[in-house]
Amino acid sequence: MSPEENASVESKTDRRDQEITRLVEGESLVIEPGTMILKKYKVLQLLGTGGMGSVYKAVDTESNTGMEYAIKFLNRQQKNDAAMRRFEIEARAANKLDHPNLIKVHESGLLPDGQPFFIMDLVEGDSLADLLSKHGRLSVDKATNIFIQVGFALSYAHSNGVVHRDIKPSNIMIQSVDDDKTLGSVVKVVDFGIAKLTGQDEFNQQTLTRTGEIFGSPLYMSPEQCLGTGVDHRSDLYSLGCVLYEALTGAPPLVGDTALSTMLKHQGETAVSLKEASMGIEFPAQLEIIVSRLLAKDVENRYQSAQQFTSDLVSFDCGQASMISAPEAKTIFIPRPQESMTFSREIKLLAAAVIFLCGVPIGYFIPRAETPAAPPQAGEQIPPVEPAKIEQTLTELANTPGYFSTFGPGRDERTFNFPEFSIGKISFVKNKSKVARGKVLSGPKFHGALFTPGAELRKHPELLDKFRADDLCGLNVSSPISLTSFIDVSLSVDSLILHSLRIKSLQSIDISDSKIRPETLRKLDTLPNLQNLWAARADISGKDLAQLQVLSRLEVLCTEHIRGFTPGIKKIAEGNSINYLSQNDSEFGLEQMRLLSKCGSMVSLDIQKNRGVTDECIAFAPANLENLTISGCPVTPKCIPALAKLKRLKNLHISLNGWSNEDLQKLRHALPKAELNP
Just list the catalytic residues.
Answer: 166
By three-state DSSP, how is residue 105 classified? strand
User: Which three-class secondary structure string do you get for 119-162?
Assistant: EEECCCEEEHHHHHHHHCCCCHHHHHHHHHHHHHHHHHHHHCCE
Rounded to 5°, angle at Cα 255 from 279 and 217: 130
166 Cβ contact list (under 8 Å, min separation 6) = 191, 193, 194, 215, 216, 217, 220, 239
The continuous run of DSSP H or E covering 629 comes out as strand 627-630
Distance CA 425, CA 423 (A): 7
User: Judging by DSSP bridges, how do beta strands 439-441 and 434-435 pair with one another?
Assistant: unpaired
Side-chain half-sphere CA neighbours of 350 within 13 A = 26
Strands (E), 245-343: 321-325, 331-335
Rounded to 5°, angle at Cα 190 from 188 and 196: 130
By three-state DSSP, how is residue 349 classified? helix
Backbone φ, ψ for residue 524 (5° rounding) = -60, -20
Q: Which residues pair with 56 in a beta bridge?
A: 46, 71
Distance CA 616, CA 619 (A): 5
7 Cβ contact list (under 8 Å, min separation 6) = none
Q: Which CA distances in Å does 72 have to 87, 239, 640, 652? A: 10, 24, 34, 32
Distance CA 89, CA 198 (A): 11
Closest of 268, 269, 275, 285 to residue 326, by C-alpha:
285
Report the 10 Å Cβ neighbour count for 206: 11
Distance CA 440, CA 437 (A): 7
Distance CA 25, CA 39 (A): 22
Q: What is the sign of the dihedral through the CA atoms of 477, 481, 486 and 492?
A: positive
Q: Which CA distances in Å does 326 have to 287, 298, 330, 391? A: 12, 12, 6, 22
Distance CA 653, CA 631 (A): 6
CB 144 within 8 A of CB 313: yes
